[in-house]
Structure 1
Amino acid sequence: MVGGTSPQYQTVQAGSAEPSPLRELIPTFCIAVAAIGFVPILHVASPVLSLTVEILVAIAIVFAVPTYAPAVAIFVLFFQNLFVSTLSPLISVPSDLDFIKGYNFLLCSVMWLTTFGLYVFGRRNRSAEVNRIMCWGVVTLAVVALYFAIGFVQNGQAASVYLRNIVLPLFLFQLSLLTAASYEVRATPFLVTLGVALIICGYVEFAFRDFWLAITNGYTFWGFDELKATHSGVWEAEMRATGNVPVDLKDRFSFDFLNTPLLEGFGLSKILRIHGPNMSAISFGYGIAFFALFLFSVGRPFLALAALPLLIVCSVKGALITLVFVIAAWISTRLLGAVVTLVLGLLGLMVFALVAIRVGLQIGDYHVIGLMGGLNGFLAKPFGRGLGIGGNLSDSYFSIDWSAAQAAGTIDGAVESAIGVLIYQMGIAALVPLGFYFAMALKAWRLYASSGYLTQGLAGFGVMVVLLNGLFQEEALFAPPALGLMLSLTGLVIGSQIRMRAAAGQDAESSSDRSIPRPVTATPARARHA
């Protein structure tokens, strides 16, 4: 039944008797905190020591408690910057802060690489279905790596940043897929607890802003960001684009509701945005939208409702769009069926995109202008230019004349649009990662069509909506709590289904002929760690 949830699926298709939630949660959170919480102190003591420890911790998690790996990855995406901010008085220069903020990528990448290596050597599920998915994932990585090499010789730093932004969602997907296909992963208790923690952090920040900034050393953390933005020209570019001239820290957090001129006539005052423990309003907004949907899908509707007001004060259009479209897809599936809903949903997304582009050009929205620049750049060079060429990290970004760009309806380059940037940098090859993500979303949706489990529907249609948002936001595809979080869930639901099918097939085969000895398979035995 589409409108309900199954006890079986409440553990992301765990299947068997469930141990005490505390026995599951406490070790997971302890390992997650230990994995990332002390990195700033270690880095200040010795960068070499911190890098070594972090790599060893990531490898140890995959070998010792493999089913914790997806949970740890999701935790560090949201809470690393909370630890960094709290310990920011120990940091001396902005460059050190930027380096430390990259440890979550290091941890996730090493866990993925270790898991991938074990898969190659037969220590993870290597069924035909898993092999097909992994094969296309490797092809995607190879194409991205080629364009990284092309861009690196032109702008190494920007190419490296875009490489990280593009491959991390794929790493999270494969890490979750291989883990869930090989082991029994009980993700729901952890994700519910993590969602509640994020909601609490959001309300504390909203209601007690000065207290939140004090206990997290927020003024010090954001002070480094101010120095970097001033020296790099980011502030000047933002002020030209938005017309906002911040005076103090709270001014920097103050935005028009949804940051759009379309609502100016409604008399809505500015909103003091909340940024959450990950210190990013857009990333936190996507995280809150995801957890509101996830909590509802696993039978916690009141917790889901508690998250909704935070979406308003995050004031992130993409997060609200994701919430609305996924809920509409759930309702439509119950009324019309999954096939009709998918067709209508895709048509709705296309119509929404066309209307948003048309209106955006009329009002001079710089996201749409950046998308037009990407389209024009694609037509000029359909095979791309290489990662890091164009985008918000390009040198030309800081000299954009936004008044002239609004008059022209385009710019020379691609900014503020993830898909615009991708097609500008990778040309037609951008269809490879985008196509892979869409194919995995369709696979999750097919599971939803046959089972009715809301979480599978969230994974499937959620990825599609975030891909749509990539037309109008860089963060939609490049901020891990947006596309990365959705793909991590997609990997969990697909991997769990593959494992359960394999287990059901083995049980049926075993019951039909118990007298014939069976060889030991390459798939590890079920674990009950997460």
Structure 2
Amino acid sequence: MSAGDSPQVETVQAGPSPPAWRELVLIFCLAVATIGSAPILHLADPILAIAVEVLVGIAIVVVVPTYAPAVAIFVLFFQNLFVSILSPLVPLPSDLDFIKGYNFLVCSVMWLATFGLYVLGQRNQSAEVNQIMRWGVITLAVVSLYFAVGFSQNGQPAAVYLRNIVLPLFLFQLSLLTAATYEVRITPFLVTVAVVLISCGYVEFAFRDFWLAITNGYTFWGFDELKATHSGVWEAEMRATGNVPVDLKDRFRFDFLNTPLLEGFGLSKMLRIHGPNMHPISFAYGIGFLALFLFSVGRPLLALAALPLLVLCSVKGALIVMVFVTAAWISTRLLGAVVTLLLGFLGLIAFAILAIRVGLQIGDYHVIGLMGGLNGFLEKPFGRGLGVGGNLSDSYFSIDWGAAQAAGTIDGAVESAIGVLLYQMGIAAFVPLGFYFAVALKAWRLYASSGYLTQGLAGFGVMVVLLNGLFQEEALFAPLALGLMLSLAGLVIGSHARMQSVAREDAEFEHLTRYQPAT
């Protein structure tokens, strides 16, 4: 896989860095051109679109490698905005679904090009990086094996779950190898993205009709309605919730945090905001991540401006990440890193037990789906293959939720990422989960020794998102949830590896210059 574990690492220089504002302009122009052109090219010729996006992804890694992590983050946040704006030109729902896949294509190509250069020795190959990459490749191999098993039974769901599982790994390795080799200045980019996203969120909240008009939202969501009607999703949702939407805004109305536990507090239904990525859960995780990141880099006022949007998204998982990570930061300052880590583990375990117990009492769909996954794991501990079971399975639309609530479980696994992984991959599910947890511990150890809040966010943030995976499919399968956290983890771990390499080279150079031959 690599050229060995030699501690002699040559740090590649990417050339003189342009001023921050100029670099920002270049990144945004490149990112907009990359993903904004995909729908247009696809409408002209899908083969042409694929070819162009592949070439662009390779060119980014070869010519401006330090921009690759930023471009990946941008396309995940904003692709659906471009798709929505151009949706009146899209003829069929199937075309829209295909176009939505270009962000995965771009990210995958950039990862593959970066990985290829790593194998060829053009990226940091220190012992630390090599070890992390080996375990990542093993994880990818195990997931691919279960994809092959599942694809033979149910091809399309298997492909979707493969994409959902491997994309966070791709983002992590892309960021790790890039930051381990080059100096990546990600803070100005993420701050700018945060400003844009916060602005979009408040515009959508205050001027919903205007937002839907300028983004062609009615057309975009119209395709989604057609798909939901034909697939049976709407019928399943109406049976489960008893809600019958009349218009588009009705589809956006949810009980606060989507839980019956708050019914006694007089909290009425609210209009969720979806953000430019057109998905409330993903947008909430993205906003939560950026709010925490802004706090960590000394932008508290901007971070505070993002917090109301979390409430307006009405997503429990993103709020849980905010609470636990903030508590971990405070506890580390007061009690130290080791005590905080132990207390954090106990807190996460206690929260999981309490959530499962309460969820079973109130008939929560996520907990019921988790129980189904655990039962399926016990029945077949070696799994069934990707795509067998889960929200994409045909049986999902025929679930009798009333009977499931009475039984406290279902035949299958839904609404829980970890439940679905255990059901589909069996004991092998602990390979990707264990790898992500090990990455989190690595980032946390860096935080324990440095005190940098960004490293603490990467470490504990991944842990909390993994916890959320018990009760939410999107926690592990939405790129803006686990994917963003792992991307940040790759950046902080890679940056640390690069600095160690530079320090080692400087020490060796100083030793050589001090050497005086005997006369």
Q: Distance in 2 between matches of 1:186 and 1:33?
A: 19
Instruction: Name the counterpart of 2:296.
Output: 297
Mapped contact 1:466–1:483 kept (Cα < 8 A): yes
- Aligned to 2:513, the other structure's residue is in SS state coil
What is the one-letter code of the residue matched to 1:257? Answer: F
What's the CA shift for 1:18?
A: 7.6
Q: Which residue of the partner structure matches residue 448 of structure 2?
A: 449
Alignment deviations for residues 295-343 of structure 1 (CA, whole Å, 9 cap, x no partner): 0000000000000000010000000000000000000000000000000
Which residue identity is paired with 1:108?
C
C-alpha root-mean-square deviation of aligned residues, in Å? 1.3
Amino acid aligned to 2:319: L
Alignment of 1:96-175 (within 5 A): 96-175=95-174
Aligned partner letter, 1:85: S
Q: Does 1:490 align with 2:501?
A: no
Q: What residue number does 1:25 align with? A: 24
1:379-528 aligned at under 5 Å gives the runs 379-514=378-513
Shift of 1:141: 0.3
Aligned residue number for residue 236 of structure 2: 237
Q: Which residue of 1 aligns with 2:197?
A: 198
Distance 1:86 1:516, change over 3 A: farther
Deviation at 1:21, TM superposition (A): 2.0
1:178 paired residue number = 177
The C-alpha deviation readout for 1:368-390, integer Å capped at 9, x for no partner, is 00000000000000000000000
Q: Secondary structure at the match of 2:276?
A: coil
> How far apart, in 2, do the equivalents of 1:126 and 1:20 lie?
29
Equivalents in 2 of 1:231, 1:155: separation in Å?
19
Matches of 2:160 and 2:18, distance apart in 1: 41
Gaps of 5+ in 2: 1-12
Moved over 4 A (4+): 16-19
Q: Residues 27-426 of structure 1 correspond to what in structure 2 (within 5 A)?
A: 27-426=26-425
Instruction: Report deviation, 1:512.
Output: 2.2
Question: What is the deviation of 1:19?
Answer: 5.3
Rounded Cα–Cα distance in structure 2 between residues aligned with 1:151 and 1:471: 22
User: Which residue of the partner structure matches residue 5 of structure 1?
Assistant: none
Q: How many angstroms apart in 2 are the aligned matches of 1:270 and 1:264?
A: 10
Gaps of 5+ in 1: 1-13, 518-530
Q: 1:240 Cα shift? A: 1.7
Which structure carries more relative contact order (alpha carbon 8 Å, separation 6+)?
1
What is the one-letter code of the residue matched to 2:476? L
Counterpart code for 1:278: N
Number of equivalent positions: 503
After alignment, is 238-247 or 380-389 more displaced? 238-247
Deviates more, 1:122-131 or 1:240-249: 240-249
CA distance, structure 2, for counterparts of residue 19 and residue 40 of structure 1: 31
Q: Structure 1 counterpart of 2:32, which letter?
A: V
TM-score, length-scaled by structure 1 = 0.94
CA contact (8 A) 1:241 1:366 kept: no
Which whole-Å CA distance do the structure 2 matches of 1:354 and 1:480 have between them?
A: 26
Displacement of 1:244: 1.7
Q: Distance in 2 between matches of 1:485 and 1:238?
A: 29
Q: Is the 8 A contact 1:94 1:225 kept in 2?
A: yes
Asked if the contact 1:173–1:487 (Cα under 8 Å) also holds between the matched residues in 2, the reply is yes
Deviation at 1:515, TM superposition (A): 6.7
Say which SS state the counterpart of residue 184 (structure 1) adopts. coil
Do the aligned residues in 2 keep the contact of 1:289 with 1:319 (CA within 8 Å)? yes
Which whole-Å CA distance do the structure 2 matches of 1:249 and 1:168 have between them? 31
Q: Distance in 2 between matches of 1:291 and 1:186?
A: 16
User: Which residue of the partner structure matches residue 8 of structure 1?
Assistant: none
Instruction: Give the structure 2 partner of residue 526 of structure 1.
Output: none
2:242 & 2:426 partners in 1: Cα distance? 32
Q: CA offsets per residue over residues 414-435 of structure 1, 9 Å max, x none? A: 0000000000000000000000
Which stretch shifts more, 19-28 or 413-422? 19-28
- Report the equivalent of 1:521: none
> 2: distance between equivalents of 1:343 and 1:19?
43
After TM superposition, the score normalised by the length of structure 2 is: 0.96
Q: 2:10 corresponds to which residue?
A: none
Residue 24 (structure 1) shift: 1.5
What amino acid maps onto 2:150 in structure 1? G
Find the aligned partners of 1:50 and 1:173 in 2 and give their Cα distance: 26
- After superposition, the C-alpha distances for 1:175-197 in whole angstroms (9 at most, x for unaligned) are 00000000011110001101111
Task: Please give the alpha-carbon distance, in whole angstroms, between the structure 2 residues aligned to 1:159 and 1:311.
Answer: 32
Equivalents in 1 of 2:241, 2:472: separation in Å?
A: 15
- 1:44 Cα offset (Å): 0.5
Give the Å deviation of 1:239.
1.4
Query: Helix, strand or coil for the counterpart of 1:416?
Result: coil
The separation in 2 between residues aligned to 1:239 and 1:148, in whole angstroms, is 32
**What percent of counterpart residues are identical?**
82
Q: In structure 1, what residue type is equivalent to 2:44? A: A
Q: 1:489-512: CA deviations, max 9, x gaps?
A: 000000000000110111122122
User: Match of 1:454, as an amino acid?
Assistant: L
Separation in structure 2 between the aligned mates of residue 251 and residue 24 of structure 1, nearest angstrom:
42
Shift of 1:61: 0.3
Cα deviation for residue 20 of structure 1 reads: 2.9
| SS, match of residue 513 in structure 1 | helix
